[in-house]
């Protein structure tokens, strides 16, 4: 009976948390998550996914506390994970939070695209830098047979191309038994700081690179 009472209390706290953190959705805000979803009764994995989409860190933490799989797969949205969903929302904080809680940086959706693929497709240099630092596989191919470097080149995103080529050079040096120099770390540190402090610069640089090719 005590266990039953505890379970009831936990479920109530979970429902209340969902209602509190998604309060704007109940008041009619056009955010999308409420459309077709009974938010308080969402499965923890689905709640984590939706919270990642809308960058609600408290709800993400609550969903994980109630047993959400950090790598939960949304079957109706191309098999995307909460991390991929956070990428599409361009949320560096949400992505970092998920990674710190065990999200796989290499789990792919039905199109064979992982977080790094999506960050590259969207031109989100800061996120690409984050995933590269976390060990994302730069050689993974999507269902179209493209790796992230070819995608970045096609999109004319000079910053991401630079980061990817640096990683490839680093891997080649390690394969040859060379430790490399500090330039690699310095460049990644600069990109990381820019992504954190002035992300609009990276967005503008990516946009300018694409416009210059038109």
The confidence score (pLDDT) of residue 171 equals 79
Q: How many residues does the chain have?
A: 214
Question: Does domain 112-214 fall into CATH 1.25.40.20?
Answer: yes
Rounded CA-CA distance 103/71 in Å is: 6
Asked if pLDDT for residue 15 goes beyond 90, the answer is no
16 vs 67, residue with greater confidence: 67
Residue 169 token pair: 């050079």
Rounded CA-CA distance 120/148 in Å is: 7
By CB neighbour count within 10 A (0-12 exposed, 13-18 middle, 19+ buried), where does 14 fall? buried
Q: What is the mean pLDDT of residues 56-61?
A: 93
Q: What digits encode the pLDDT tens for the residues 33-44?
A: 444 455 567 889
Rounded CA-CA distance 39/130 in Å is: 30
Average predicted confidence (pLDDT) for the chain:
78
| Whether pTM exceeds 0.75 | no
Q: What digits encode the pLDDT tens for the residues 113-160?
A: 999 999 999 999 989 999 999 999 999 999 999 999 999 999 999 989
Asked if pLDDT for residue 94 goes beyond 80, the answer is yes
The confidence score (pLDDT) of residue 189 equals 66
Asked if pLDDT for residue 88 goes beyond 80, the answer is yes
The confidence score (pLDDT) of residue 169 equals 84
The confidence score (pLDDT) of residue 152 equals 95
The answer to whether 76 touches 108, Cβ cutoff 8 Å, is no
């Amino acid at each position: 009976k005590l266990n039953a009472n505890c379970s009831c209390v936990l479920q109530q706290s979970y429902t209340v948390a969902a209602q509190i953190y998604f309060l704007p959705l109940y008041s009619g805000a056009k955010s999308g998550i409420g459309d077709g979803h009974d938010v308080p009764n969402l499965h923890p994995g689905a709640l984590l996914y939706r919270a990642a989409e809308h960058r609600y860190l408290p709800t993400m933490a609550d969903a994980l506390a109630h047993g959400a799989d950090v790598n939960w797969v949304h079957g109706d949205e191309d098999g995307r994970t909460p991390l991929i969903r956070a990428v599409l929302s361009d949320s560096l904080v949400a992505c970092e939070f998920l990674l710190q809680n065990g999200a796989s940086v290499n789990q792919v959706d039905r199109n064979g695209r992982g977080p790094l693929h999506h960050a590259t497709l969207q031109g989100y240099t800061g996120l690409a830098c984050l995933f590269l630092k976390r060990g994302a596989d730069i050689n993974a191919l999507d269902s179209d047979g493209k790796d992230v470097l070819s995608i970045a080149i096609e999109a004319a995103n000079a910053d991401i191309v630079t980061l990817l080529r640096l990683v490839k050079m680093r891997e080649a040096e390690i394969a040859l038994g060379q430790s490399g120099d500090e330039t690699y770390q310095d460049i990644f540190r600069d990109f990381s700081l820019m992504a954190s402090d002035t992300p609009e610069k990276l967005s503008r640089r990516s946009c300018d690179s694409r416009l210059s090719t038109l």
